[in-house]
Chain A
Amino acid sequence: IVLTQSPGTLSVSPGETATLSCRASQRLNLNYLAWYQQKPGQAPKLLIYSASRRATGVPDRFSGTGSGTDFTLSISTLEPEDSAIYFCHQYNDAPDTFGQGTRLDIK
């Protein structure tokens, strides 16, 4: 399953909302889709799993929606530390696959 993320790069001002998209080439019948945040030189950090469930300790500014083939990660009230690359990951069907990432810049 190919995951296509858009946009490739997103520049948003602090306090605004960012909307990131992840589209799957095949329907994820169980909606097993996760979102991760990765900062330079660091390991990815789990944000969202099962499309909409927030991981432990993740602020409620981060929310995941969608089903089937179209999924969205929304980040509200953006803060400078939200600058990172965001990846989606489908674990619905083997083999697991990842999107190429969206770079989020907080300007």
Chain B
Amino acid sequence: QVELVQSGAEVKRPGASVTVSCKSSGFTFTAYYVHWLRQAPGQGLQWMGRIQSYGGGPHYAQEFQGRLNLTRDLSTTTVYMELTGLTSDDTAVYFCARGRVAAAGTIRSYFDNWGQGTRVTVSA
């Protein structure tokens, strides 16, 4: 079955960086986009960016331009999310999710499978 398994919780100081991994299995890794989203305490979901598993560059939400870096490792079917310059506002649960494109020829996607989430706490 489709699975996305994320790395464990992290506690970071302000100004530090964090890297969260998302290992995929149960589907053809190269056929899908992987997206990253986050959910701050008591808040809704926020889309951060996406990466193509089969080539091409990542795409980031404007808010995260310059401090978000998404990479992939085809040999291990793993996607990595690095966020730099952490502040307390980055305290959240981070999710990876598999994107299903709405129609051929578009990149607009809904999210049909999710990782379990990784809690990142930023505190001095």
Interface residues of B in 38-85 (CB under 8 A from A): 43-47, 61-62
User: Is A20 among interface residues, defined by CB-CB distance under 8 A?
Assistant: no
Task: Give the docked Cα–Cα distance between A50 and B101 (Å).
Answer: 11
The reply to whether B112 and A55 contact each other, CB–CB distance below 8 Å, is yes
**Interface residue tally of chain A, by bracket?**
20 to 34
Instruction: Name the residue in B43, B102, B110, B117 with the highest tally of chain A Cβ atoms < 10 Å from its Cβ.
Output: B110
Q: What is the CB-to-nearest-CB distance from A24 to chain B, in angstroms, rounded to a whole number? A: 14
Task: Give the docked Cα–Cα distance between A43 and B45 (Å).
Answer: 11
Interface residues of A in 36-95 (CB under 8 A from B): 36, 42-46, 49-50, 55, 87, 89, 91-92, 94-95
Interface size on B, residues (CB 8 A): 21
Task: Give the docked Cα–Cα distance between A25 and B21 (Å).
Answer: 34
The reply to whether B110 and A46 contact each other, CB–CB distance below 8 Å, is yes
Closest-by-CB residue of B relative to A46 is B112
Q: Mark B92-120, 1 if CB is under 8 A from A, else 0.
A: 00010100101000001111111111000
Q: Which residues of A contact B95 (CB under 8 A)?
A: 43-44
Q: Which residues of A contact B117 (CB under 8 A)?
A: 42-43
Instruction: Name the residue in B61, B100, B111, B115 with the highest tally of chain A Cβ atoms < 10 Å from its Cβ.
Output: B111
Q: Which residues of A contact B111 (CB under 8 A)?
A: 34, 36, 44, 46, 89
**Contacts A89-B110, A91-B110 supplied; 5 other A-B pairs, CB < 8 Å:** A32-B110, A45-B114, A49-B102, A50-B102, A98-B45
